[in-house]
Amino acid sequence: MDSIQVQGGTGLQGTVRIQGSKNATLPILAATLLTGDESYIGNCPRITDVYHMENLLRCLGCKVNWENHGLRIQSSSICENDMPAEAIKSMRSSVFLLGALIGRCGRITLDYPGGCVIGERPINWHMSALEQLGVRFYQDACGLYAVTEGLHGACIKLPFPSVGVTENVILAGVMARGQTCIVGAAREPEITSLCDFLNCCGARIEGMGTDCIHIWGGRPLHGTRYRMEADRIVAGTYLFACIAAGGSCFLEEAPAHQMAAVIHVAEQMGAWCDISPKGIFVQALKKHPVLNHLSTAPYPGFPTDLQSVVLSVLTANEGECLVEERIFENRFRIVEELQKMGASIQILDRHRVLVKGGSILQGTHVEAKELRGGAALVVAGLMAEGNTVIEGKKYIYRGYENICRDLQELGARIVSV
């Protein structure tokens, strides 16, 4: 079977360690291609998307091995045209191979990347940015062919602070002649991690964490050792799960310095959060203050990847809340599933829903249709009366190492079947 079963009504209590960051690991694994050397990436999450990227690296000729909770990658010899189409289409993050392989090989043939169904996420933004660095693209129904006679620096102004586009420009920019400036760059922690990794490899990048990143390209790169930070989205999921189910939990290694907006919303929803160098202690309060409005935004705003989880929790919160999704246009696929459980949610348009709190959710069969919505249904199951069966667990395991094990450690009655 492909499902997760949750018996609701049990509060959470205890300690859970937060896995390494999915969103930072994937572009860093792509970046190892640029070194032509051996790198070790510690604290890698053992999730489906990482396994897919591991497979892609092997198809390219890299030697990849798991060692002590990390991946050792030797990229001295690669063959850029040996990637099977099904591997590319299995994950959206394969788009990072555009910048990495163009930087390493000067050309790439790539089937259109696959992955989530949460939005359009147009690849033309990636193409437009890379064209300014000297890349020419040709495309047909089968995919993309990209070639460059030599990458060169440029000042690239992004129309939107896209994380993926920013990362692709960084990957290509470190191999380009001269200086590249990204104006309107994404500020997410994953950008900083990628830049930190490349700087450890010998690159010179400044301004990460701001909306203006400067890259001095053409410097020789070498392998390095790097440890991934904990996953802020997984930490946020478990934080809101504690609010939903009640109780108190310690989120070990949770990156609180990356989660200011998340913690602020959690406190508005009735949590007490105590931050320490070792993680976040969260306690659900009996009185639930009213959250009237929630809007997603690029970092440091509230992350779109946690919107669905909060939507689940809001169904039981007091009052009404307007939820605005400003990043992706298809994040509300979970609404129909929550309505099956008894939630009162009105879709106003594809970017806004109105949640009327106070619902007592009832366990039933629901379906995960994408990664974060699937995790949100698990949280809804913790809140619900009776048994909830979530079909489509494969989506959830794209980003969570073992959500059932983690929640079991906190006392939840949950199994994967």
Active site residues: 116
Q: How far apart are CA 81 and CA 406, in angstroms?
A: 39
User: Given 3-state DSSP classes, what are the helix, strand and coil percentages for the chain, each rounded to the nearest 5?
Assistant: 35, 30, 35
Q: How far apart are CA 196 and CA 187, in angstroms?
A: 13
Cα angle vertex 314, ends 310, 315, to 5°? 125
The residue behind tokens 């990048």 is 205
Residue 175 to residues 79, 243, 344, Cα–Cα distance (Å): 18, 46, 52
Instruction: Give the sheet arrangement for strand 107-110, strand by strand.
Output: 107-110, 143-147, 136-140
Q: How far apart are CA 270 and CA 268, in angstroms?
A: 6
* 302 DSSP β-pair partners: 296
Residue 45 to residues 229, 344, 385, Cα–Cα distance (Å): 10, 35, 32
